[in-house]
Amino acid sequence: MTRFSVTILGLLLLAFTSAFGAEGGHHALPLDAQPLHESLPISNSITMVWLAVVLIVIFCQIATRKMSLVPSGVQNFAEWVVESLYGFLEGLMGAHLTKRTFWFFGSVFFFILTSNYLGLIPGVGTITYGGTPILRGGNADINMTAAMAFTFALLWFYWAISENGIKGFIAHIFAPKGVKGFLFWALMPLFIFVGFLEIISIGIRPVALSFRLFGNIYGGEQTLEKLMALVPESISFLPALPFYFMELLVGFVQALVFTLLCAIFVKLICDHGDEHESH
Amino acid sequence: MMILLAAAAEHPNALEALSKTFGLHGAFFVAQVVNFFLVIFVLKKFAFGPIQQMLEQRRARIVAGEEKLKHIEKQLAESESTTAAAIAKANEDAVRLINEAKEGAAAFTEQKAQEAISQAQQILAKAEAAANADRERIATELKREFGRLVASTTSQVTGKVLTAADQSRINDEALAKVGN
């Protein structure tokens, strides 16, 4: 049996179980994550995040349990993934910034990817406790995406100021770049105005990041739900099947987009290239 | 996004409505921030830390290996040049020794030949001297014998007892005739 056949069979099984796991009826996925307990701040997406953390810990333990200089098996795969992402970010941000920030970008990428793929597993959104689904895609909750985006926003300020200094940071936003003498002063009002626009842009970034990821993941899950509801339950997996492929792609692309955008924002504020050239 | 902002500006409670619609909840938000930091901690401690350490260790080992390789290559080149120089010197020495041996052998041969010639000449001279001495001795003996025979014959023919002076004279005359 070829690998392709196994993959197709797996996806068919996934769709089947997903369809039959819907417990007798399709419903629209609510926009907000539901609390699992009245007095505790635990929602069904938080349990999903915990599950993701547990899986990540298990994978890391397996991958790094018996590390050897000549890697094999899971260690080889883990090293390949980490090294590829590190190399990719290094090409984008440079060696210095990547070394400083990889712990964050690596975590963001792997967490979003794990969380997105976990959201596609049958049972997520269908296994309930007291009528409330106990699991919900981690990134299909605006609280999770906002938590990542706003954490990044704070770290962005920290990295920007530690790399440029307060004066350099303000100059980076407001001062004209690449011009000298009369032109510098002439363009100053324009650049101050542009600087204010930049501040608005900086303020909007975490909101945009949050809603972009949330929208894509929630939209994908909602699409699968709605497509399953289009046909009788016995064949409800069929219309959703092609979209599982798409969701696998979307899960990866969204993890990459979020990480890339964050990396670019850091690169833009910490990049001294233009200043060095103009001096 | 601009639409959202415009809506928020138009309606003061828009942000609240937005939060309610999308389920943005303060406690959940804080919980997710904590969870996110938990993810960061877990990944940093159990994945990135050990893996990057291993990658760094491997990189350092590769660099060290490369350095060692360069050192070995340098040593090999030095060794090759030293060996080549040693071989050249050995060849030179060997050629010199062979030439010296050849020259020595030739001189020795010449010396031995000369010695042999000299010895041969000496042997020849000795043999010649011995032969001459023998011949002299034999000639003397022959002469003596001849003289004695002549004197004896003369004595028998003449029936006269010869004196020593007669014998000596007859000997001398006979020998003078034989010698001529």
pLDDT in tens, B14-61: 677 777 788 887 888 888 899 899 989 988 888 888 888 888 888 899
Contact between A174 and A271 under an 8 Å Cβ cutoff? The reply is: no
The structural domain count of chain A equals: 1
Contact between B138 and B157 under an 8 Å Cβ cutoff? The reply is: no
Backbone φ and ψ of A130, nearest 5°: 60, 35
Of B5, B23, B58, Cβ closest to residue A141 = B23
- Complex-level ipTM: 0.80
Long-range Cβ pairs for the range A197-203 (8 Å, 24+):
A198/A173, A199/A173, A202/A153, A202/A156
* Largest interatomic CA distance in chain A: 75
Contact between A112 and A258 under an 8 Å Cβ cutoff? The reply is: yes
Q: Which domain holds residue A160?
A: 3-278
Which residues of chain B fall short of a pLDDT of 50? none
Percentage of the residues of chain A whose pLDDT score is greater than 90: 34
pLDDT of residue B87: 93
- Chain B residues with CB within 8 Å of chain A CB: 1, 4-5, 21-25, 27-33, 35-40, 42-44, 46-48, 50-52, 54-55, 57-58, 61
Of A45, A82, A150, Cβ closest to residue B51 = A82
Q: What is the mean pLDDT of residues A244-253?
A: 91
* Close Cβ partners of A231 (under 8 Å, ≥ 6 residues apart): A238, A239
CB-defined contacts A:B, below 8 A: 135
Q: Do A60 and B28 touch (CB under 8 A)?
A: no
Q: What is the mean pLDDT of residues A56-67?
A: 87
**How many CA atoms within 13 Å lie on the side-chain side of A272?**
11
